[in-house]
Amino acid sequence: MEFILPLLLILPFVGAIITLFMGGERAKYAKFTALVFSVATLALAIVLMTMDYVTMGMSEVWIQTDFFVMNFALAVDGLSILMVFLTALLVTVVVIFSFEEGDRPNYYHTLLLLMELGLMGVYLSADYFLFYIMWEITLIPMYFMISWYGGPRRHYSAIKFFIYTHIASLVMLIGIFAMVFQAGIINGGIADFSFAAVAAASPMFAETFQVLVFGLLFFGFIVKMPVVPFHTWLPDAHVEAPTGGSVLLAGVMLKMGSYGILRVCIENFGYGAIQWQWVMIILGIVSMIYGAYACIAQKDLKKMVAYSSISHMGMVLIGIGVLSQTGVEFAIFQMFAHGLITAVLFMVCGLAGHNIGTREIPLLGGMAKMMPKWAFFMMFGFMASLGLPGLVGFVAEFGILYALWEFIANTEYMWMIVFGMISMMLTAGYYLWSMQRTLFGDLTDKIDFETGVHGGPVHDISKYEFLAMTIMILLIALFGIMPSLATDFIMPYAVGLI
């Protein structure tokens, strides 16, 4: 069954090529093609989850010179399997959600599937060169997604997004080269880019080297996550991106950063990780609190959700930073949980812009009467995101904060757990306050409900959107009630890592 891993890359790629040429009259069929290919990928991913995926790695020499070897190597383990599933799931859900997209639908779906290719590649690759290529491939469709389908300031945002993350990945590339060639020297000559070769040499890395290269790679990854103070590309990109783009951006692209920290930094630099530990924890805490505070001040629903992503990804960094099995397990769980929840949040916010015509909180009010279904999904999403027990976010939050507590309980910094509590309060605060102002209270008189916005009067969500969000909230509840469904995948990895 070795063909499954490459097939996970090939299927979206083929789908992207087909939809690319479905221009003109045929554009309206592109969504069916995209649906077929994304569902097929999702099915494959689920099949993969039921199998003994750890043993299914493959590796072919791709480019070879006297000095280095680059491989086309793919592998899955406990860290990536959930991300692969999440990627396939979110692309499928986005295709369903955007079933009524009318603006150049074929290119839209091409970009979606290309993004799926890049994301799958990042999570599946077992070779640093392939990893880097795939990392960069994800940028391009996202750039076009924002600059073609985005809002009024889309060009600024798209360029900012591209340059920001590209600079970060160049720094990361330097780190990768340093690491791979150093490993090559240790391994005796040829620098092999595969994960396995570097991992074999990594215990021999000198201490200074570890600290330096950890820093380079870490910088590359935290910009992607993003972590305060390298986060400002995210709110801009989200505000301008189309809904589907936002869902993928927040749902799986941000996780590339934390995935990279675990996969590259923590796995290879044991000593470096310990040296950088407090930096990780403090940056995580700063992001968590700062993001939450920034949320309170936002007037744009989508921007608020974007900042909440920063806050939640800060939690992931804390979980990684404590360098314990519990921390890593729940950091990965939080990546997964946040992917599920944030998809709903961005769909809801996108619908506000699309169906009501504005996402500005001060203009809204009492919308629960006009759009009960939308209000339900919004409440569900917000409650899940603020960590309501019984839903998936709570388990992750509890686990990460406990891991933080376990780490600091033996130090004189015990009081730092207070930050976790403050962030929980703030999260509840901004979500409830924004709900109060958008859904409840008196029906707003600042919007004309009859003449409305693009596409006629203000209306509740359509059946495709309903379906997409229903799938997501069912999964949020399922993994919240039975978190071991997900942690069973993560646990072997977390136990093996630390």
Q: How far apart are the first and last CA of the chain?
A: 30
Yes or no: say if 299 and 360 are a contact pair by the CB < 8 Å rule: yes
Q: By C-beta, is 210 or 326 nearer to another protein?
A: 326
**Sign of the dihedral through C-alpha 380, 383, 385, 388:** negative
What distance in Å separates the CA atoms of residue 418 and residue 414, rounded to the nearest whole number? Answer: 9
The rounded distance, in Å, linking the Cα atoms of 293 and 56 is 44
Q: How far is the CB of 459 from another protein (least distance, A)?
A: 18
CB atoms within 10 A of CB 440: 14
Q: Which is nearer to another protein, 1 or 414 (CB)?
A: 414
In angstroms, what is the minimal distance from the CB of 6 to another protein? Answer: 32
Q: How far is the CB of 418 from another protein (least distance, A)?
A: 8
Q: How many CB atoms lie within 10 A of CB 86?
A: 24
User: Given the complex with another protein, which of 441 and 455 has the nearer CB atom?
Assistant: 441
CB 164 → another protein: shortest distance, Å?
A: 7
45 vs 368, which CB is nearer to another protein?
368
Instruction: Give the bridge partners for 71, in sequence order.
Output: 61
φ, ψ of residue 70 to 5 degrees: the values are -115, 135
Question: C-beta of 87: minimal distance to another protein in Å?
Answer: 25
Q: What are phi and psi of 72, to 5 degrees?
A: -95, 90
Contact between 65 and 72 under an 8 Å Cβ cutoff? The reply is no
| Minimal distance, residue 306 CB to another protein, in Å | 12
CB-wise, 260 or 483, nearer to another protein? 483
- Length of the chain as a residue count: 498
Q: Name the residue nearer to another protein (CB basis): 241 or 248.
A: 241
CB proximity list for 493: less than 8 A, separation 6 or greater: 77, 78, 79, 328, 332
CB contact burial 321-357 (16+ within 10 A = b; e otherwise): bbbbbbbbbbbbbbbbbbbbbbbbbbbbbbbbbbbbb
Q: How many whole angstroms separate alpha carbon 325 and alpha carbon 330?
A: 9
CA 405 to chain centre: 26
Q: Report the distance separating Cα 45 and Cα 42, nearest Å.
A: 5
Q: Which residues pair with 69 in a beta bridge?
A: 64, 192
Q: Which lies closer to another protein via its Cβ, residue 140 or residue 159?
A: 159
SS3 call for 205:
coil
Residue number, 124 or 435, with CB nearest to another protein: 435
> DSSP letter at 48?
H
**Tokens matching residue 281:** 């924890």
What is the closest distance, in whole angstroms, from the C-beta atom of residue 156 to another protein in the complex?
10
Task: Tell me how far apart the alpha carbons of residues 464 and 99 are, in angstroms, rounded to a whole number.
Answer: 7
Residue 322 C-beta: closest distance to another protein, Å: 9
Q: 240 or 329, CB closer to another protein?
A: 329
From the CB of 26, what's the least distance to another protein, in Å? 40
**Cβ proximity to another protein, 93 vs 294, nearer residue:** 294
CB of 126 to another protein, least distance (A): 24
Contacting residues toward another protein, per CB under 8 A: 160, 163-164, 228-229, 231-233, 290, 293-298, 324-327, 329, 366-369, 383, 388-390, 394-395, 398-399, 401-403, 405-406, 409, 417, 420-421, 424-426, 428-429, 432-433, 435-436, 439-443, 482-484, 487, 491, 494-495, 498
Closer by beta carbon to another protein, 12 or else 257: 257
Q: CA angle 123-196-190, nearest 5°?
A: 120
CB of 436 to another protein, least distance (A): 5
Crossing angle of the two packed helices 417-438 and 392-408, in degrees rounded to 10: 160
| Sign, CA torsion 273/278/281/284 | negative
